[in-house]
Structure 1
């Protein structure tokens, strides 16, 4: 019997599933506790569905807890067993309160107690930590025996995890939508419903795609209304001679508060990984101690963090188990966590997080070791591209631009991801790459030139900024009077790694995009039959040979 089972990320062992320890580094204990938390969130959602059906109100605290609980189980977010024990305890308390609220509403409506059937996830109660440990081993992915049902349920859950991550960033900036919270809970509860057919589950997966687009739009509004629209920005890759703090992850609010609190303290702030797009927001450019970007993709952090010398703030996911040589310089915050690593507590209501420990630690360190020089461009989100729409349309009509190739998504450690670098090199000089997410680190430093002043790599930003690419496609369709988004000179060659990329993929499908190439492997959680549906209905295909794929992308 395996110690765990997880196949939610692209790097899962042998592309079938991690069963002894996660390739990401999570232990069997943490993996199983994550499964149990998801199981209890399904039980919580069973009650919230019942409460809403009876015209009752679900508290915002419950909505936020479910969202953050989902986010905490995304790959490379939290590796701390203690945190998951705490969240499991909180889930049990919330579920008990909701059960009481359900009974009260039912009595008001029917004059009697509710005695109907409930799924075990809504009723199971542990008597000890040992009960929790044993139950955590029983409620994972493989509990669903039918492979196709399991595949659709997991596809839905992973999409919900991605939505939760984006919704959490928007929530932190004060932007929320009831229907997004409600769909997360509706989807979770649906995975316990044995009566749902394959078609009904498939429809829920597509609804998840619609919700993903809505959530990314909400986050786009949150980011741009708070910090301004990203501007095309040339980002320095060198370092200065003062101590620095390196910020990784995705959260812009954390970044803002750190900039404010570190101003005048004699330390510089650098971005890393998916924080690179923060360089393009106008609100951050006023800080003189905000420097350039250090390093590249998340998976190189063991080497890069060691050379940075100063403290590293992990605002969200993308942490990998740190080396002892810099473990004492890592700080997590939000739902991110790792055992033995310092954690910055959540901000009090109406207040800010206190980043004093990070700033004071930085003052005692050496300046970063320079690992590269030069610059990269970022900031080509939908507003910046809309301002250049006339030039883009003219370049298309003149034949200067033959095609746009969307190469968004995630990066990863495996050697076969060099495919995306080679595709970028192989594309003809009249093709432009549209990108977002950390996939860009495979090619954003290549000397690919420009077309009439338009860079051949247009970086829209973080993975959630894939929404910008949907907006751009729709605006381009209007500009050239195309009836179907698939009639545009745009091809899709998408890299995936974790669950936010799943949400983006479902969002593209919901937007009507077809013939997406997906790699470097198809997800292990897609059964043969579910894969066939995606191929037949949407034309999804695995990446293959570079030259063969480039010919198809350019066709």
Structure 2
């Protein structure tokens, strides 16, 4: 086993026996093999596309399978092994489509050499698959140049992040052809030994721009389905009665659960990245969506030890403790061995009867008062008050903007983000998004001339809102984004943060700070390039970073 795709990787270099995330070596081996299988699918899929063959089944399968390998998504070896075999079946199917079309077009058989992944066949048992993975994993390519390896990892992890966003959009019926095409091109490029470091850097910058289109597509999917978010106060308290806690990112799962629990006396609470759901008109209309429970994903083992049922949508699951393992359910791509999984039917609908029954048989919560926080400051809301913001900047009431957001995590050093928010001066506005906000979103920041000093833009994918807001402000002040009084300070944990960072860099945005630590998969030479070209830097101290920003 060797995995270094997340910020918490062991010793800052890589997990080799057991993942810090909870992933064991068998699961890690199968995930490596699934990526290898997807590379084979991509080779034939790209060739088929060059002949005009587009396969919608593949367009959906590839991002879903990539998404499965993101940190804290799927820890179930049986499910991953079935995806490996499904990938093989898809590869053979698209390969045959290509070969038939090629012969029809050229009057001869296709005989060019292809990468080994394109000709690979999986064994039958999980043990045999794990043995096969030993020959294609990270440690079996020690002769690969460190910088090339680093760039390939950056591209792969970026695509994993984009796969998550593409999958969410697809569930709601929204797709983007450029995004679909890049998965084929990108996975194929990972096998191309002729590509230089410069070639890969160019491709990574191209990826960043494609991911922006993916984020835009997901934004359209969310707003087109649930309405534009509006500023909404959310209770952090509890109501007496049966409760279901919904975690993850999937708003459609929440919508279906709200429909199925309507009128049953069950209170629904969001958790983690589901907090922004309260701002969407088509979700906030449900009276039994009563509040938000808990904080970020890494605290779930402590927070979920209660008398509520829990639904995990998409990623961010940790090894469930025995005290609540029978009360937690997974759905979508997230899975854990021994945890009940709720699948969709052939129409995409899900039956939440099991979790509803579990919820009713538990004690639920007692009444408990809690403070309120405000969410719903996505780009539509903020741009509606743009003139107010612009006037506040021109008058000097607002001196600076800080974008403080990204993934939270358990690694020491993340209290920096709390300290940073606390040290932001009273004449500055904070934009935030993703679960990193839980480090400071219960603090009282007040207002500047009626504008809240803390503007919660939403989930991690709502980095799109932050980009739109910054771009529109730059237009209003007749400058570029780098000339705005704006500091971007990101916390990262997994691969969705990687794709967002690459999008920001592809837009030419400079002076971004990331932390708590730098990615282990970025080699010293590649880091030097990022520093020289974009002035990318690791966070220092909260006091020093605020001081430098306000100069």
TM-score (norm 1): 0.97
- Pick closer, same or farther for the CA change 1:510–1:96 going to 2, 3 Å: same
| Residue 341 of structure 1: aligned partner | 339
1:153-176 deviation per Cα after TM superposition (whole angstroms, max 9, x unaligned): 010011101111001111000001
Query: Matched residues in 2 for 1:127 and 1:35: separation?
Result: 15
> For residue 237 of structure 1, what is the aligned residue in structure 2?
236
Alignment of 1:48-447 (within 5 A): 48-53=45-50, 55-129=51-125, 130-144=127-141, 145-307=144-306, 309-349=307-347, 351-368=348-365, 373-447=370-444
After TM superposition, the structure 1 = structure 2 runs for residues 462-481 of structure 1, keeping only pairs within 5 Å, are 462-481=459-478
**Cα distance between partner residues in 2 of 1:369 and 1:164:** 40
Deviation at 1:454, TM superposition (A): 1.5
Matches within 5 A, 1:11-30: 11-30=8-27
CA distance in 2, matches of 1:49, 1:214: 20
Assess, with a 3 A threshold, how the Cα gap between structure 1 residues 554 and 140 changes in structure 2: closer, same or farther.
Answer: farther
Shift of 1:288: 1.4
Offset, 1:372: 7.0
Number of aligned residues: 548
Separation in 2 of the partners of 1:84 and 1:215? 25
The alpha-carbon distance between structure 1 residues 503 and 414, as it changes in their structure 2 partners (threshold 3 A), is same
| Cα shift at 1:80 | 0.3
Contact 1:141 1:150 (C-alpha < 8 Å) held by counterparts: no
Aligned counterparts of 2:261 and 2:349: Cα–Cα separation in 1: 13
Pick the aligned partner of 1:458 from 431, 455, 460: 455
Deviation at 1:509, TM superposition (A): 1.0
Report the alpha carbon displacement of residue 110 of structure 1 after superposing the two structures with TM: 2.4
Q: Deviations over 1:498-544 (max 9, x none)?
A: 00011111111122211100100110000001101110111100011
Give secondary structure in 1 for the equivalent of 2:458: coil
Cα distance change on mapping 1:127 and 1:240 into 2, 3 Å: closer
1:34: which partner in 2? Answer: 31
Q: Tell me what 1:449 maps to.
A: 446
The alignment yields a C-alpha RMSD, in angstroms, of: 1.2
Q: Runs ≥4 in structure 1, deviation > 6 angstroms?
A: none
Q: Normalization by structure 2: what TM-score?
A: 0.98
Query: Does structure 1 conserve the Cα–Cα contact (< 8 Å) formed by 2:457 and 2:465?
Result: yes
Moved more, 361-370 or 401-410: 361-370
Shift of 1:391: 0.9
Q: Is the 8 A contact 1:56 1:105 kept in 2?
A: no
**Distance in 2 between residues matched to 1:489 and 1:429, nearest whole Å:** 15
The partner residue of 2:491 within 491, 495, 502 is 495
Distance in 2 (alpha carbons) for counterparts of 1:188 and 1:487? 36
Tell me how far apart the structure 1 counterparts of residues 260 and 310 of structure 2 sit (CA, whole Å): 16
Maintained 8 Å contact 1:312/1:329? yes
Give the conservation status (yes or no) of the 8 Å contact 1:242–1:366. yes
Aligned with residue 513 of structure 1, among 509, 512, 516:
509
Which segment is superposed worse, 23-32 or 364-373? 364-373
Unpaired segments ≥5 residues, structure 2: none
How far 1:369 sits from its partner (Å)? Answer: 5.5
Measure how far apart 1:367 and its partner are: 1.9
Aligned mates of 2:496, 2:20 — CA distance in 1: 18
Q: Please say if residues 268 and 290 of structure 2, whose CA atoms lie closer than 8 Å, have aligned partners that are also in contact.
A: yes
**Structure 1, unpaired ranges of 5+:** none
- Name the CA shift for 1:372/1:274 in 2 (closer, same or farther; >3 Å): farther
Q: Separation in 2 of the partners of 1:123 and 1:333? A: 33
Counterpart CA distance in 1 for 2:137 and 2:547 is 42
SS of the counterpart of 1:24? coil
